[in-house]
Amino acid sequence: MAWEHHYGILLPLFAATAAETLRRKPLAACTAAALMLAFALTGQFFQPLQLFAATPFNFLQSYVLFGALLLLAVWHLACRFEPQPSA
């Protein structure tokens, strides 16, 4: 079980890795959008999603986890592939 305050380490990690991740562009043109989405999901509190607590859609309350997983996926792809040299 993890609470939101455990994800506080992500802000310095975003700051430390954003430039290199954007340079490598693991998702091509979608890299910046993926990083922004991951940041928004991990750094915000979405009160309307609390309405899903007692429904089968309560997994939507795990948006912070989904943002962290997105960030990990982008990092994984950035580490696997070196950027292509420009012509």
Whether 12 is covered by a domain: the verdict is yes
> Contact, 77 vs 27, CB < 8 A?
yes
Whether 64 is covered by a domain: the verdict is yes
Task: Name the token pair of 52.
Answer: 């899903």
Whether 41 is covered by a domain: the verdict is yes
Whether 86 is covered by a domain: the verdict is no
User: How many structural domains comprise the chain?
Assistant: 1
Whether 47 is covered by a domain: the verdict is yes
Whether 22 is covered by a domain: the verdict is yes
pLDDT digits (tens, 9 = 90+) for 51-87: 999 999 999 999 999 999 999 999 999 998 776 666 6
Confidence at residue 87, expressed as pLDDT on a 0 to 100 scale? 63
pLDDT digits (tens, 9 = 90+) for 28-43: 999 999 999 999 999 9
> Contact, 66 vs 41, CB < 8 A?
yes
Whether 87 is covered by a domain: the verdict is no
Whether 16 is covered by a domain: the verdict is yes
Confidence at residue 84, expressed as pLDDT on a 0 to 100 scale? 65
Total-model pTM: 0.84
Stated length of the chain: 87
The domain of 62 spans 4-80
